[in-house]
Chain A
Amino acid sequence: MPRELTYREALREGLDEELARDENVILIGEEVAQYNGAYKVTEGLWKKWGDKRIIDAPISEAGFIGMGIGASMLGIRPVMELMFYSFAYVAFDQMMNNAATCRYMSGGLINVPIVVRGPANGGTNVGATHSHTPENIFANMPGLKVVTPSDAHDAKGLIKSAIRDNDPVYFMESTVLYGMKGLVPSNDEVEGGELIVPIGKAKVKREGSDISLIAHGRAVVTSLAAAAILEEQHGISAEVVDLRSIRPLDEETILESVRKTHRAIYIEENKPFCGVGAQISSMIMEQAFDDLDAPVLRITSADAPAFYSPPIEKLQLPVPEEIVARALTIC
């Protein structure tokens, strides 16, 4: 029977299984070991695996992520935790120049099998510096992979794929999703004896025929709520497509959905300007123009830094009601 696990527990289970599978897998980050993780993703892992495998880092993101990149060149498989993905910005040179371009500049002699994971979301009343959503920024860089699981099942299956991947994978989670429960199969009920979700395959989370709500990360959850309202209150059948990874991108699943529904909205908690939705809507326009019955719409967070004050901050992020209202304009 599938078990009900939180997103956090599922991630932890994936990490734990990979630590058991490959002795070169290590976890490094601020408070990941003795503190059990700032968001408790790594709870219990230090006790189980010890100092060699689970390592508390000083507050030096450029230093320890750069160190992980160097170690990965020699075959270590470091999983680095950013307490907030916002802190990637202090490690930007390491994450962009060293992780992304060493393979290219060496003519393929080097690869960097590192995972950098952590929550990349707003909406938690912590102000702009801790609310960044850099998935579009990193996905812009060839050489990097950007993964954004939206539920417990995918959190486990994708972290395992990310760790096994021989390229740098930036794995963006959400503090809002950490406590969300979902069904995760136990290993004895999946083919191959373990849950693996390949990077680069989108998932249709809800089938529908009138409009495609395409999203990544927590916006998938928001879209599912909107789809339920559209169905119940407006008789509109919305399909919800979860990208799961932004780079590599599963264009086929997106296009298949749009060719069926003829209408699409991209929903994300990222900023609108040069955001993920801009890429997706451009792709739909180029490849499925004749299938569209309406312009592709984009719903994003407000184009301003994150507001601290909770009632206003909530207004900055996509909510189901906004998706419903925008959907009604094109259905």
Chain B
Amino acid sequence: MDISYIILVPFIPLAVFILLGLFNQKIKPAVSGYIGVLGLLVSSSLSFYAAYQYFFVSGKMDGVYQTFIEKAVWMKFTETLQIDMGILVDPISVMMLVVVSVVSLMVHIYSRGYMKGDDGYTRFFSFLSLFTFSMYGLVLATNLFQIYIFWELVGVSSFLLIGYYYTKPSAVAAAKKAFIVTRFADFGFLVGILIVGFTTGTFDFETLNAVSPEGGSLLLNWASTSFMGLSVITWALILIFMGGAGKSAMLPFHIWLPDAMEGPTPVSALIHAATMVVAGVFLVARLFPMFYFVEDGFALNIVAYVGAISSLFAAIIAITQNDIKRVLAFSTMSQLGYMMLALGVSGYEGHEGLGYMASMFHLFTHAMFKALLFLGAGSVIHAVHSNYLKDMGGLRKYMPITNITFLIASLAIAGVPPFAGFWSKDEILVAAFENNILIYCSSVFVAGLTAFYMFRIYFGIFWSKEKAYDHAPKESPLSMTFPLLFLALLSIVVGFIPFSEFVTSDKIGFEAHLNYPLAAIATTVGLIGIVLAWAFYKKENSLSDKYANAFGALYRWAYDKFYFDEIYLFITKNIIFKWISAPFAKFDRKYVDGTMVGIGNKTVWTSEKIKGLQSGRVQDYAFSFIAGAVVLALVFIYLWTN
């Protein structure tokens, strides 16, 4: 299969970014919107064609999906250790291409309506293109270093877009927070990469993930060096996962995600729901054989537990939040936790690899319905000019399309058959059930919570009591409703894709069956959540407040996000700043700077003292000169005569 044309997929958005970025002021907003959408349309078409060609034309060879790599040497350190730039095409990268294309294209179209009349319209589209370029580059990367480069690019574009309203202090703070927190996590990623490079002598995914014919990783040869009871490769994987946790907002690096909602809503949909935040999941999936085989998957267990805890934690917080975008942000975190835990409990071969496949499947479906939820929320915010649930209610009469599509998305995320989320979530629960019953129980509980909080905001926005609006809210224009409808359609149908035949850890594929008892349990739990939400929030009543009061302290904690932000602030301000940074700063100012300044001052002082020698009288100079000559003459005469 010829894959060289795939290289155009990332480069078209890059060209658009450069074009819009350089000629920011010269391009009319109307034109820049079209350029952005058009560029992405081409990229998307190429991605879809690549997916079609990969899965259906090229297909399997000897029953296995092939991996195609095209690369060029970029930096050569030693004979073996080198960094390449290139593209790697295998099932997950093709799947990610499709996800990024669909969501990004829809968000581009949507933004043309949502951002209309905004001052930075062209800037917005150029940043979106930059992000899309980085994300394509990330999913196509052939080695750890290349993925790291694009990883940081994605972080930068996320920073730029969160801080898009840069006159708003909260947006600036959120952008900085997101960048610093993810950057801190990426430090672990970098150290992990370096350890891998040092111990194995390669960065290539192909070599790192190589599986020996008897099963087991070829890496085991290298995994023997140990540090504190674990092999260094395991440490490296844990550190790499730290980077993944930062991007995917897992505990304890999740604090940036809710604040990232300061960005424009299409950005939240694209970056902080559908694509960028799944980069962490993608990274673990990319290195899955390594995670699985090195030391019997010790690192993978950590992934599973971090995922499960994050998912539960976020779901509980999501119930109490009043800002609809924040509810969706925590919901994203919770669903990402699902994907992580599914990867964590997965095996490698055949049906054992159900978790891996379920995780990728959930990534795929989640991208669709979460983007839809965000875009729907954006449509609502556009209409009522507020993020808060208290300013909304009874909107179903004014915004029928948004209402229907939001409902579909909520049903999908709540796991009601036959919507997309049901199928993928079911696979995850089956995988968890087969491997770790504790994680399974927590996941089922989270499924119920998910249904509850989603329908809490659904009923809160579209039913409940009608609020007094300044001017009657009206349905959004076609450029905004079209993506909603399209994504709603996808949210219904993508669940029926026989995903297990395309994307699996061993690339062979298997036939997945619906596990009826487990599916029934999950669906029932989801329905209970929906019914509870219906009882609490369909009509405005005091039931919810009563239960909130009944939970008392727990409710307060969850409402304040379990004080994670405060803990971080406390640690940074009172411990790191006060006890580490401040003394260092003092030392720097006093001794390091002091020495330098002191040398300067002494020089000035000395010059001041001796400048009298420079009298300006030629005779003085001549006197010194002659005196010197005489002294030298005497010295030489003395030396010669002895």
Q: Do A and B bind each other?
A: no
Q: Which residues of A contact B (CB under 8 A)?
A: none
